[in-house]
Amino acid sequence: MDSNIKKAIQNLDAIGAIIMIVSLFAGNFYAGDPGGGLVYSLSYPGYKLIFNSEYMLGTLFIVVPALILVVGRIKSLQQYESLLKFGLPIVSLIFLFVLKGQLGDTGNYGGSASFALGAWLFVLGNILSLISGAAQFFHIDLEKKINDIMQQNKSKK
């Protein structure tokens, strides 16, 4: 396996956390149709979630990936590193759907809000972090698993 791929697998949680942070600033996070026959749709960028006091969960969208990035470097949290790297992506994924519901209930989105580009990127980063965190929590060697799968695919051909 290429050394760059090995390095990416070893740092999958950091890559996912960085994608989650970048997603907050990459386009709209949520979008909605205001209904009532209006032609335009409303959008909500991710950075507004961070700095808006109406949606306190939005602030955690930047705190959770930042914590994933630094948990291994904080001595008092190192004993909980695998648990935090596994649990934090689950919690942020739940927050993503709860906040989607909150935005839909405000009335600005006609009762429904949907994921836009930023939210889909956040989900992607979240899944990468979750895979890495789960592998660390359950003591699974991702490199070995990926190599095994690649060997099985080569033998089938």
In 3D, which of 143, 87, 84, 94 has the Cα closest to residue 123?
94
φ, ψ (nearest 5 deg) of residue 31: -135, 155
**How confident is residue 35, by pLDDT bands cut at 50, 70 and 90?**
low
> What is the tens place of the pLDDT at every residue in 69-91?
999 999 999 999 999 999 999 99
Domains of the chain as residue ranges with CATH: 3-156 (1.20.140)
Comparing CA positions, the residue from 113, 96, 32 lying closest to residue 62 is: 96
Model's pTM, two decimal places?
A: 0.87
Q: How much is the mean pLDDT over the chain?
A: 86
Which alpha helices (DSSP H) does 12-116 contain, by range?
Answer: 12-23, 46-50, 56-70, 81-105
